[in-house]
């Protein structure tokens, strides 16, 4: 944990990038590591560079089915044996000799070239085969050599990385321990079942955290009572790296999120961000834990979590900061917003016949309308200096798959 000035003291209402920079400066990634077998390493963050234990290929081998021989040999060649992937030819092949060889089989001593089977002819006099030096031979270490760094620290491992590690003789890796995140929602009106307003935010946040390999602890729905919220927040902060609550971030009497941070001995780092939807989002620190107080409206909670929450969790997990770039599309809509605010609009995307992408704003853009979130393809980002968008103007977008992907 690092000491840093409060963002609300430093910036007033910070921009999104300013808020993210403050959070990265206040919190270090989890330091604890553990070793896990490759079968349990998916979605984990590599703690140290993973190094190849063997070279690949481990020896010169054939890239084709055919005949292996020395390139100075002259046909016809005397066939002296065969080399298979699991049963290599164990003797030296002399000049004027050859071995039948299978794809992936080790090149026998004395051979430096392979001719494809369909380009050769076997006769009673021998095998007629011609090929230039080194043809169809994969050299030892052509892919990587023992001691090479296969995957750098900070990589979130997926099936591609697991395959590479396994091919390099790596059987287990050191990874950072999973980030521990507590979730709760605030509101007397919220319900898990029965009648009333169902709690969509906790289910949404839990699903996204699970995709990122995060260890989630569910603290349920809390009533609008400051003493209960404060006690739960303090307990959750002692047991987790991050505590995420939704609702209770506006300025009304029953919005307790900020008061609860102070009530349990914490500090408010960021109180509101220049973002729409989700301007009331609040970030605090309680002991060593980060607290993210999201807006209660589901769309606002989603937008602020994917644009600010997930990048911050990524930093805390120790992952390298790399994301898909924003893409360009043509707006089919007109939109006006305030200068100094960053706005995210839900859009559907269409491929035009000329190859251009069109972005169409959804009809329902209220911050509580989940149908527009589920029915759209991604978000258009209108930067702080943009005030007016007209049809045909370029806009930047990311798909939801890109925004939510680890």
Q: HSE (CB half, 13 Å, CA atoms) of 92? A: 3
For residue 290, the surrounding DSSP H or E stretch is strand 289-294
Cα gap 77→65, rounded to integer Å:
17
**Maximum Cα interatomic distance, the chain, rounded to a whole number of Å:** 99
Q: What is the fold, at CATH topology level, of the domain defined by 61-138?
A: Molybdopterin biosynthesis moeA protein; domain 3 (2.170.190)
> According to the model, what pLDDT value does residue 10 have?
37
Q: State CA 120 to chain mean position distance.
A: 49
Summarize pLDDT for 189-204 with one digit per residue, the tens. Answer: 888 876 778 899 999 9
Contact partners, residue 227, CB within 8 Å, separation at least 6: none
Q: How confident is the model at residue 162 (pLDDT cuts 50, 70, 90)?
A: very high
Bond from prior residue into 194 cis (ω within 30 degrees of 0): no
Looking at 212-253, list the stretches that DSSP marks H as alpha helix, in order from N- to C-terminal side: 226-239
Token pair, residue 152, equals 């750098």
The CATH class of the 327-404 domain is mainly beta
- Beta strand 190-191 with 197-198 is parallel
**Span 103-129, average pLDDT:** 96
Tell me: pLDDT of 253 over 50: no
> According to the model, what pLDDT value does residue 249 have?
52
Tell me if domain 36-55+144-176 and domain 327-404 are identical in fold. Answer: no
> According to the model, what pLDDT value does residue 250 have?
53
Summarize pLDDT for 299-349 with one digit per residue, the tens. Answer: 999 999 999 999 999 999 999 877 778 999 999 999 999 999 999 999 999
Find, among 244, 226, 220, the residue nearest to 316 by Cα: 244
Cα gap 3→61, rounded to integer Å:
57
**Span 179-190, average pLDDT:** 92
Burial profile 7-29: b = 16 or more Cβ within 10 angstroms, e = fewer: bbeebebbbbebbbebbbebbeb
Q: How confident is the model at residue 363 (pLDDT cuts 50, 70, 90)?
A: confident
> According to the model, what pLDDT value does residue 364 have?
73
- What percentage of the chain reaches a pLDDT higher than 90? 84
* Region of poorest pLDDT, from 13-17, 251-255, 327-331: 251-255
Tell me: pLDDT of 147 over 50: yes
> According to the model, what pLDDT value does residue 188 have?
82
Tell me: pLDDT of 4 over 50: no
CATH of domain 36-55+144-176: 3.90.105.10
Find, among 218, 274, 213, 275, the residue nearest to 245 by Cα: 218
**CA separation (Å) from 236 to 112, 158, 201, 218, 346?**
65, 30, 18, 10, 33
Average pLDDT, the chain: 92
Summarize pLDDT for 264-300 with one digit per residue, the tens. Answer: 999 999 999 999 999 999 999 999 999 999 999 999 9
Tell me the domain boundaries of the chain: 7-32+178-317, 36-55+144-176, 61-138, 327-404
Summarize pLDDT for 195-230 with one digit per residue, the tens. Answer: 778 899 999 999 999 999 999 999 999 998 999 999
Cα gap 370→199, rounded to integer Å:
12
> According to the model, what pLDDT value does residue 258 have?
85
> According to the model, what pLDDT value does residue 8 have?
41
**Span 157-168, average pLDDT:** 97
> According to the model, what pLDDT value does residue 5 have?
44
8 Å CB contact between 398 and 336: no
Number of C-beta neighbours around residue 65 at 10 A: 16
* DSSP secondary structure code for residue 40 in this structure: G
Which residue is listed with tokens 């430093």? Answer: 10
More reliable by pLDDT, 65 or 370? 65
Bond from prior residue into 77 cis (ω within 30 degrees of 0): no
8 Å CB contact between 216 and 226: no
3-class SS at 208? helix
**Span 41-58, average pLDDT:** 97
What CATH superfamily classification does 7-32+178-317 receive? MoaB/Mog-like domain (3.40.980.10)
Whole-structure pTM value = 0.85
């Amino acid at each position: 944990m690092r000491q840093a000035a409060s963002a609300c003291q430093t910036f007033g209402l910070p921009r999104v990038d300013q808020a993210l920079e403050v959070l990265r400066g206040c919190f270090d990634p989890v330091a604890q590591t553990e070793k896990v077998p490759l079968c349990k390493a998916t979605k984990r963050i590599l703690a140290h560079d993973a190094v190849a234990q063997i070279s690949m290929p481990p020896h010169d081998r054939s890239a084709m089915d055919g005949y292996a021989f020395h390139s100075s040999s002259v046909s016809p060649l005397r066939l002296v044996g065969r080399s298979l992937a699991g049963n290599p030819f164990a003797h030296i092949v002399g000049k004027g000799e050859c071995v039948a060889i299978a794809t992936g089989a080790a090149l026998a001593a004395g051979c430096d070239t392979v001719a494809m089977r369909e380009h050769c002819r076997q006769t009673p006099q021998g095998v007629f085969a011609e090929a230039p030096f080194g043809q169809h031979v994969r050299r030892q270490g052509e892919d990587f050599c023992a001691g090479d760094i296969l995957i750098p620290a900070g990589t979130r491992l997926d099936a591609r990385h697991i395959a590479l590690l396994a091919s390099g003789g790596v059987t287990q890796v050191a990874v950072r321990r999973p980030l521990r995140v507590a979730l709760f929602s605030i509101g007397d009106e919220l319900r898990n079942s029965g009648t009333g307003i169902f709690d969509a935010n906790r289910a949404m946040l839990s699903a996204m955290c699970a995709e990122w390999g995060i260890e989630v602890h569910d603290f349920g729905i809390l009533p609008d009572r400051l003493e209960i919220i404060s006690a739960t927040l303090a307990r959750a902060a002692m047991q987790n790296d991050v505590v995420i609550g939704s609702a209770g971030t506006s300025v009304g009497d029953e919005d307790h999120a900020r008061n609860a941070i102070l009530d349990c001995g914490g500090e408010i780092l960021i109180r509101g961000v220049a973002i729409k939807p989700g301007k009331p989002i609040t970030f605090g620190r309680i002991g060593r834990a980060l607290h993210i107080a999201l807006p209660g409206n589901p769309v606002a909670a989603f937008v602020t979590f994917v644009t600010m929450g997930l990048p911050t969790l990524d930093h805390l997990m120790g992952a390298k900061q790399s994301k898909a770039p924003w893409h360009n599309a043509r707006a089919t809509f007109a939109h006006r917003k305030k200068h100094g605010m960053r706005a995210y609009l839900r859009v559907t995307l269409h491929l035009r016949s000329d190859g251009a992408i069109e972005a169409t704003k959804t009809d329902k853009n209220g911050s509580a309308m989940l149908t527009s979130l589920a029915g759209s393809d991604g978000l258009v980002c209108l930067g702080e200096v943009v005030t007016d968008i007209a049809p045909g103007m370029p806009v930047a977008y990311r798909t939801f798959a890109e925004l939510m992907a680890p």
